[in-house]
Amino acid sequence: MRQIAAEVLDSLAINDTFLTVATGRPMHARQIRAELDDRRREQMASQSDRRSRKLVRSLGLAATAGLLLVGLVPTTAAAQDDPRIGLGAGWLDAQTAISNLEFLAHHDKPDGFVNPANPGSFAFVTSDLAFGGTHAFMGNFHGFNIFDISQPSGPTIVTSVVCPGGQGDVSVFGNLLFMSVEESRARVDCGTDPTVGTRFQGLRVFDISDVANPVQVAAVQTCRGSHTHSVVTDPDDSENVYVYVSGTAGVRPAVTMPGCNNNPASGENPSRWRIEVIRVPLAAPDQAAIVSEPRLFRDPVTGAIDGLQNTLPSPQHPSGMNWGPQPITDACHDITAYPALGIAAGACEGNGILVDISDPVNPVRIDEVSDPNYSYWHSAMLSNDGSKVIFQDEWGGGTAARCRPGDQPQWGSDAIYTITNHQMNFASYYKLPVSQTLQENCVAHNGSLVPVPGRDIVAQAWYQGGLSLMDFTDPFHPKEIAFFDRGPISATSLVLGGFWSAYWYNGHVYGSEIARGLDIFGLVPSEHLTEAEIAAAGEVQLNEFNAQHQPQITWAPSFAVARARFDQLVRTCTSTITGVRNSPLNVTGVTCLDGATIGGPVNVRSGGSLLVIDSSIIGPVTATNGSAVHVYHSTISGPVRISGTTGSVAVVDTTVTGPVTLANANTGTVEPIIADSTVNGPLSCTGNSPAPINLDAPNAVSGPATGQCAGLT
């Protein structure tokens, strides 16, 4: 979040001096006046934005696939039928809309972490989420809360830690919890009276080995505080964990931290245009300390440390409003590290950057992009294979309505880039396909991957735009596949709220709601996600998860993973046969048999794919150099010979009357599967890479099982 709270704006006296507000960022009064002018224009426009409230859904009502909209522009005619339009307002009783998700649980913000008279108070904003074991750690500008999520349908509070200072973003690593502190009201000892005690801005370290009693063991001061931070691990260093600190506040006075200065880029060691790298010894976390201050924005030719975007792309934002925030790069807002690939993606105010983190202490920028539509490069997510990256634009800073009718999909949106040889190339934008009211702060915000094998899907927060699941497997045509949304907190004015984060963790989607608390969702099968795809994602179980420390996901072979692969291939069918066909079948494209009976030989030609379910083939099946052959719950009366397959092979719960031969398949990392089937004849497997498996479901073979298939019975 990067903006002035509405409550602060409304109370400021406007003059020609610089003021520092709750975010710690100095702003000239003229900037504040411009922000107020924009806010007043929005409020005036809202008088004409009162629409009839229809198609309302409440929690617990079933969602249907027909509710889904996938267009990018929120003002399309089709979007007018979206159930998110016209939801009734309320703090804890707002109306809701849901599609392809199951609402499992909600837990209100605990007492002491909310102001009921002003649910959107900046002093008690719920911020980011982290996970460890069966616990969710939810940050807050007032401290953090720990939930037991061993039963996702009934989360319970373990403990609450009062430790004011904002933003309160948290991460966990083993028995350590890290917390970002940016505001000058914070104290080293977590005290609540800002007029006494030692000031603190930087990174706190807590010991959470006793999760019910966290203990602060270190507090590392930084010159601009810690707006966010990223955990970074080194595969070659098991004794330390590293934390990249992104500070975006104004530079603090040297009297509170020696060495801090507001020097220009050409001056002596300025405190801007850098990040801090903190090394935390795992055996002695109290010794955490800054070990480097990398200049990620340096111009490689001139050596200037302010070598990225230094001027506004245009005098005003493309919307005609003043820029807010301004896309001038002197810090990173968020850095998502992917240690398994040795890279990180940084969202750095005026630029998106790609960073080599193979040496975590000395990261090096390897590519950068900019966009004249983007007001504030906020956060980033990488695809599991590292071939794509999504950046978010927090236009309006998170406190403004930026999903209004007329707001274009390239403003306050996701920008998707492909990555080839460490170079980023723009592919497309994605924004909520439905507009929100002027009483709802809405813009792209934090999310994470949903680990469906073979696909790139993210769960993402959009503040009071709700949460949205987006499929970017095709980076040029992203589409929404699920959503949840509430009506505004207030029907008459913008009260800060909505989802700060939406993350997948061990089978569920968790949302941290700024004004309301914790929400938990499950996925339900739909035209966009099958039961097997959901089950395969649920089989991915992590010990811990921090969105800015992206893990590399792997899937153990299973029936769910295999069936998910089948379901995805079915979406590509070029021809589908049902009923009876008494003639030979030559397969060249992707041919699907669903409840079919084929009387005659089936021949899969080079590059072709055969997908069979609940069908009967009376005749031989031959596949030579095919792309994929999958047979589920079917019968084949005749010999089966599959050779040279390049994609995937699966024969599951199928009866074959005749010999079965699987030879010379080269299917990469995907093992051929012959499982839970009956072969009335010999089973022979040779030259396959990798070797076939049976998923611990033996086959009944009446003849000899030889070669690589000897152990599959």
Mean local confidence (pLDDT), 315-319: 97
Q: Are residues 283 and 317 in the same domain?
A: yes
Name, in order, each residue with C-beta under 8 angstroms of 301's C-beta and a sequence gap of 6 or more. none
pLDDT at 64: 29
Q: Are residues 212 and 145 in the same domain?
A: yes
**Residues 438 and 49 sit within 8 Å (Cβ to Cβ):** yes
Furthest CA-CA distance within the chain: 91
pLDDT at 311: 96
Residues 234-272 pLDDT 10s: 999 999 999 999 999 999 999 999 999 999 999 999 999
Q: Are residues 563 and 537 in the same domain?
A: no
pLDDT at 379: 98
pLDDT at 580: 97
Q: Are residues 516 and 564 in the same domain?
A: no
pLDDT at 16: 29
Residue ending a domain, choose from 542, 569, 584 = 542
Q: Is 713 within the bounds of a domain?
A: no
pLDDT at 49: 39
How big is the CA angle at 442 (ends 437 and 444), to the nearest 5 degrees? 145
Distance CA 485, CA 498 (A): 9
Q: Is 61 within the bounds of a domain?
A: no
Give the DSSP H or E segment for 415.
strand 414-420
Q: Which of 635, 445, 526, 507 is nearest to 67 (CA)?
A: 526
Q: Is 548 within the bounds of a domain?
A: no
Beta strands at 167-173 and 602-604: parallel, antiparallel or unpaired: unpaired
Residues 369-397 pLDDT 10s: 999 999 999 999 999 999 999 999 999 99
| Least confident among 42-51, 181-190, 403-412 | 42-51
Q: Are residues 517 and 597 in the same domain?
A: no
Rama region for 401: left / alpha / beta (φ>0; ψ in -120 to 50; rest): beta
Distance CA 400, CA 324 (A): 10
Residue 594 CA: distances (Å) to CA of 291, 591, 621: 61, 10, 16
Residue ending a domain, choose from 472, 507, 542 = 542
**pLDDT tier, 79 (very low <50, low <70, confident <90, very high otherwise):** low
Q: Are residues 651 and 700 in the same domain?
A: yes
536: phi then psi, degrees, rounded to nearest 5:
-65, -40
Q: Is the pLDDT confidence value at 78 over 80?
A: no
**Residues 123 and 141 sit within 8 Å (Cβ to Cβ):** yes
Percent of the chain with pLDDT over 70: 89
Decide: residue 615, CB within 10 A, 0-12 exposed, 13-18 middle, 19+ buried. Answer: buried
Q: What's the full length of the chain, in residues?
A: 713
**pLDDT tier, 9 (very low <50, low <70, confident <90, very high otherwise):** very low
Q: Is 554 within the bounds of a domain?
A: no
Q: Is 316 within the bounds of a domain?
A: yes
Q: What is the CA radius of gyration of the chain?
A: 28
Q: Is the pLDDT confidence value at 62 over 80?
A: no
How big is the CA angle at 543 (ends 483 and 99), to the nearest 5 degrees? 10
Q: Is 62 within the bounds of a domain?
A: no
The distance from CA 94 to its chain's CA centroid, rounded to whole angstroms, is 25
Name, in order, each residue with C-beta under 8 angstroms of 206's C-beta and a sequence gap of 6 or more. 161, 176, 177, 178, 179, 214, 215, 216, 217
Q: Which of 252, 299, 254 is nearest to 273 (CA)?
A: 299
**Residues 675 and 695 sit within 8 Å (Cβ to Cβ):** yes
Q: Which two tokens stand for residue 413?
A: 């949106």
**Residues 248 and 398 sit within 8 Å (Cβ to Cβ):** no
Residue 400 is classified by DSSP as S
pLDDT at 548: 97
**Residues 190 and 148 sit within 8 Å (Cβ to Cβ):** no
pLDDT at 181: 98
**pLDDT tier, 12 (very low <50, low <70, confident <90, very high otherwise):** very low
| 3-state helix vs strand vs coil in the chain, percent to 5 | 10, 40, 55
Q: Is the pLDDT confidence value at 115 over 60?
A: yes
Q: For residues 50 and 210, which has the higher predicted lDDT (pLDDT)?
A: 210
Q: Which two tokens stand for residue 335?
A: 């850095």
Residue ending a domain, choose from 490, 512, 542 = 542
How many Cα atoms sit within 13 Å of 144 on the Cβ side?
33
**Beta bridge partners of residue 575, listed in sequence order:** 591
Q: Is the pLDDT confidence value at 54 over 80?
A: no
**Beta bridge partners of residue 485, listed in sequence order:** 97
pLDDT at 81: 87
207: phi then psi, degrees, rounded to nearest 5:
-90, 120
Exposure letters 294-329 (e unless 16+ CB within 10 A, then b) = bbbbbeeeeebbbbbbeebbeeebbbebbbbbbbbb
**Residues 87 and 497 sit within 8 Å (Cβ to Cβ):** no
Q: Are residues 579 and 523 in the same domain?
A: no
Q: Are residues 506 and 566 in the same domain?
A: no
| Least confident among 16-20, 205-209, 334-338, 351-355 | 16-20
Distance CA 667, CA 623 (A): 14
Mean local confidence (pLDDT), 154-183: 97
Instruction: Name the residue type at position 635.
Output: T
Q: Is the pLDDT confidence value at 614 over 50?
A: yes
DSSP state string for 612-649: EES-EEES-EEEES-SEEEEES-EEES-EEEES-SSEE
Q: Are residues 162 and 292 in the same domain?
A: yes
Q: Is the pLDDT confidence value at 274 over 60?
A: yes
* Residue range of the domain that includes 658: 559-707
Mean local confidence (pLDDT), 671-683: 98
Residues 497-545 pLDDT 10s: 999 999 999 999 999 999 999 999 999 999 999 999 999 999 999 999 9
Q: Is the pLDDT confidence value at 33 over 90?
A: no
Cis peptide before 325 (omega within 30 of 0): yes
Q: Is 712 within the bounds of a domain?
A: no
Q: Are residues 504 and 645 in the same domain?
A: no
Q: Is the pLDDT confidence value at 642 over 80?
A: yes
Q: Is the pLDDT confidence value at 336 over 90?
A: yes
Q: In whole numbers, what is the pLDDT of the chain averaged over residues? A: 91
Distance CA 537, CA 513 (A): 24
Q: What CATH number did the domain enclosing 417 receive?
A: 2.130.10.10
Instruction: Name the residue type at position 392.
Output: Q
Q: Is the pLDDT confidence value at 68 over 80?
A: no
**Residues 621 and 636 sit within 8 Å (Cβ to Cβ):** yes
pLDDT at 557: 97
Instruction: Name the residue type at position 653.
Output: D
Q: Which two tokens stand for residue 382?
A: 């990488």
Q: Are residues 21 and 92 in the same domain?
A: yes
Report the domain count for the chain.
2
Q: Which two tokens stand for residue 248?
A: 């975006």
How big is the CA angle at 100 (ends 96 and 104), to the nearest 5 degrees? 65
Name, in order, each residue with C-beta under 8 angstroms of 367's C-beta and a sequence gap of 6 or more. 353, 354, 422, 423, 424
Beta strands at 635-637 and 616-618: parallel, antiparallel or unpaired: parallel
Distance CA 684, CA 666 (A): 16
Q: Are residues 475 and 580 in the same domain?
A: no
Exposure letters 184-211 (e unless 16+ CB within 10 A, then b) = bbbbeebbeeeeeeebbbbbbbbbbeeb
Q: Which two tokens stand for residue 500?
A: 């700060």
Q: Is 672 within the bounds of a domain?
A: yes
Distance CA 602, CA 591 (A): 11
Name, in order, each residue with C-beta under 8 angstroms of 421's C-beta and a sequence gap of 6 or more. none
Distance CA 535, CA 697 (A): 18
